Structure 1
């Protein structure tokens, strides 16, 4: 992600808060007058283009805000490994400039005298210290964490590691959802061993609340040591939120890029392997808050398996080096006879993880990036890192860190393609667009950026001798809108119907640039400028997730020629891979109704078209997790392509017709 855009976004979001504005500025104060427009769209199915890569529908997830923790991963507790001292000496939460709340100190609070809890460094369970509780006898002492979201009747499971002198017990661990005596369920541990022992927890909540709490209380007279604690909904799928995972399966993205983003330039992948409870907690190197390392390489690859996607891992070329990158590839893909393969096998994964796609660094052209260096220096580092990675596994596919700029002599992408073309399969580009009041202009930003990148790289192909005989295409590894208040945590912006229109128009442009753009990763999937949003207990598609899902499931793969003079209407068409159906996508960013006559060449429908519509009368309509959708995909009545095709205002329409 690009902080020079982020700084503008944060300023605007902060200004919105100061002025008492609740969302982005409305595109229209009142519904303007509309009309019906007649137009002809020519579609020539005999004039086809390169197939649409499935990787155009890729996604990107980063360890930032509530994308992973609080979005994809099911852990309910903050700072479960006690990175921060207990109790907090200052404010537990801090606010970003955009007023997003982030953890700044321990969320664990003390029950009983404050000095009953001390952080002890000797023989710490994980990290620098562990909490020791001194129970004086006859008094309840312990720790608790509040602000947990629970649902009535839902089961929750977890565990904690305890040790002690055997005198602090019995120990009670309670999930509490109200003030009445009956508003809790308790697990009693009668005996505490001298060595850390894992104790399972099971609860069933009796009430809906976002302010439940977990208490750990000693009632005896002695010392209790707590190593780490975990609590998840019992329906978690190998540690992942079941509700989020179900939406991700519906999204059906073919590939996920991870772990960053700016995060990766300060990330040591070794922190994310081995026993999850013993992995160190770190300060997030690029953003705010902490990184528990609960979701490391093994979890990421398993996540991709669960959603039927390919993994793409970004290696650290910021503070990282070639040895670490090569070791990471060997850990993922090496045989068990290799040093890193043996380490992987010792961590429970005997077979290679078979990670094919690797990004070599992230936005190394940006002075906000940890380890940033000049292009002249970075090309040397890129080639060194990539060569070492390929020596470990020659079959991998690598993506270089690019930035087109103006495509002139100072273009980072030009320099990388000139001096590193033998050390990449694809080159990355990123873009983010902001808010525009005019809806058509707001929508058009996305296809304009995609087209600019494509045309710039075609120019480089013509001008650079280093590209002769090579086909290095673009991987748009980050693209999206980025504006507005952070409602869902750090960078947790909300999206509206007009943003969905822009994402659909962006897909249309990708379909027109299949000769030069091979991959795109919508950034980021969950909460952080994401197409899925979550609360503590609910998850749902934001508006931008709907066109991504709809086109992925229903749109064809062989683009065909489309001509019309109905701009700003955006029309794209494609045949299905089996040649049995014609699909047509129409984005209408206006308040007008269109009646389209389709002039079809080299194809004839053999029946009516299935029709799906995403539409509304408010461009600022949005979805809220746990509430009825205001923006959704509606299955409309079948459409006769030989008659007038009616296109609603502010709509995305997708047609799929069988053909002769």
Structure 2
């Protein structure tokens, strides 16, 4: 017996859905932070634990720590989440004191937007921030005077004067006083709504018909309200799925901007692992509701009066697996699906 396969190339028998092979991004490793997203600082809102130095929020490091310089987590006075970085200098030793972070891949001639949210008590001189080498040699530095009292935001655009893959950002001051760091941000000026143009170019070449977000396993513990509003104010959460600190800098509006830049269809996965049908419904209203609805008004207040018109929604992610946060069996999921 001999089998034959005959192909009628000119005969159309059906249509392949363009969304059959979509793509998705997840808050995991360097997929978003350190990958697609252009923010260069880690733990920029100073939340979470120490690592190598007592009182210094990881991965930040102290500058000129000494017997009269103290570093603390402050969980009473903070700008975002539930913590700030507090620095106290009780005796002037003539040295600058503060924190630094690196390595940062700095490029000569590139412009960077630097933003710092800070408050102080008893500081006599300016606050200094600099892009510098690992040894402390400055490439560019700026100073600002910060009034005593409430939180103040300082923003500058700076030009880097050297290529250095091991560059650092240092935030320091001289003399005595108390300084609280609430948030910091360092982004290349050429970022597109916060996204890296070089990575976007590579993704655009893939021509993804749709893009799924926020996961993946991450979706099973993600609460969308954490990711809207002013980014510096959004809370940092410990993600129980991947065990990482989630700054919530990339939320619904940032993802929608990404889809618009790429010309791709958004596909959102609602939280079944620790969420509720009510939370999912409010997210749908935020994305698709009129500007005079409860959550549509929140979207409009965040600068997006027109509904996004999201057509594709997923109810949970891999809920059958015991690796999944809030995993359940098939029958239970069927009941949960009907609730959603």
Partner of 1:210, secondary structure, is strand
Q: Which residue of 2 aligns with 1:348?
A: 303
Q: Is residue 56 of structure 1 aligned with residue 20 of structure 2? A: yes
Q: Which residue of 1 aligns with 2:74?
A: 120
Does the 8 A contact of 1:150 with 1:210 survive in 2? yes
Does the 8 A contact of 1:86 with 1:117 survive in 2? no
Q: Which one of the candidate residues 71, 76, 80 is aligned to 2:44?
A: 80
CA shift, 1:270, in A, is 0.8
Q: Which residue of 2 aligns with 1:570?
A: none
Partner of 1:123, secondary structure, is coil
CA shift, 1:180, in A, is 7.6
Q: Which one of the candidate residues 61, 70, 75 is aligned to 1:109?
A: 61
Q: Is residue 67 of structure 1 aligned with residue 31 of structure 2? A: yes
- Superposed CA offset, 1:44-90 (max 9, x none): 33332212222134211011111010111001111000112457448
Partner of 1:52, secondary structure, is coil
Partner of 2:8, secondary structure, is strand
Q: How does 1:168-567 map to 2 (within 5 A)?
A: 168-177=124-133, 179=135, 181=137, 183-385=138-340
- When the two chains are superposed, the root-mean-square deviation of aligned CA atoms in Å is 2.2
Q: Which residue of 2 aligns with 1:45?
A: 9
Does the 8 A contact of 1:272 with 1:295 survive in 2? yes
Does the 8 A contact of 1:62 with 1:259 survive in 2? yes
Could you tell me how far apart the structure 1 residues matched to 2:51 and 2:314 are? 41
- The unaligned stretches of length 5 or more in structure 2 are none
Does the 8 A contact of 1:166 with 1:194 survive in 2? no
Q: How does 1:26-41 map to 2 (within 5 A)?
A: none
Partner of 2:309, secondary structure, is coil
- TM-score computed with the length of structure 2 as normaliser: 0.91
Partner of 1:371, secondary structure, is coil
- Superposed CA offset, 1:136-186 (max 9, x none): 3333110000111112222221211111125253111000136484x4200
- Superposed CA offset, 1:294-325 (max 9, x none): 00001001110011011000001111111111
Does the 8 A contact of 1:169 with 1:221 survive in 2? no
Q: Which residue of 2 aligns with 1:163?
A: 119
- Superposed CA offset, 1:448-475 (max 9, x none): xxxxxxxxxxxxxxxxxxxxxxxxxxxx
- Superposed CA offset, 1:426-446 (max 9, x none): xxxxxxxxxxxxxxxxxxxxx
Could you tell me how far apart the structure 1 residues matched to 2:125 and 2:85 are? 16
Could you tell me how far apart the structure 2 residues matched to 1:186 and 1:246 are? 32
Does the 8 A contact of 2:119 with 2:146 survive in 1? no
Could you tell me how far apart the structure 2 residues matched to 1:110 and 1:178 are? 13
Could you tell me how far apart the structure 2 residues matched to 1:119 and 1:179 are? 26
Does the 8 A contact of 1:164 with 1:224 survive in 2? yes
Does the 8 A contact of 1:87 with 1:109 survive in 2? no
Could you tell me how far apart the structure 2 residues matched to 1:276 and 1:238 are? 12
Could you tell me how far apart the structure 1 residues matched to 2:73 and 2:134 are? 30
Q: Which residue of 2 aligns with 1:151?
A: 107
How many residue pairs match? The answer is 332
Does the 8 A contact of 1:86 with 1:131 survive in 2? no
Q: As a proportion of its length, which structure holds more helix? A: 1
Q: Is residue 129 of structure 1 aligned with residue 93 of structure 2? A: no
Does the 8 A contact of 2:113 with 2:156 survive in 1? yes
Does the 8 A contact of 2:120 with 2:146 survive in 1? no
Does the 8 A contact of 2:214 with 2:268 survive in 1? yes
Could you tell me how far apart the structure 2 residues matched to 1:258 and 1:60 are? 6
Could you tell me how far apart the structure 1 residues matched to 2:237 and 2:118 are? 23
Could you tell me how far apart the structure 2 residues matched to 1:218 and 1:165 are? 12
Could you tell me how far apart the structure 2 residues matched to 1:348 and 1:195 are? 26
Could you tell me how far apart the structure 1 residues matched to 2:51 and 2:148 are? 25
Greater Rg over alpha carbons, structure? 1
Evaluate the alpha carbon distance shift between residue 199 and residue 298 of structure 1 in structure 2; reply closer, same or farther with a 3 A threshold: same
Partner of 1:45, secondary structure, is coil
Could you tell me how far apart the structure 2 residues matched to 1:383 and 1:300 are? 27
Does the 8 A contact of 1:257 with 1:314 survive in 2? yes
Does the 8 A contact of 1:147 with 1:211 survive in 2? yes
Could you tell me how far apart the structure 1 residues matched to 2:34 and 2:164 are? 16
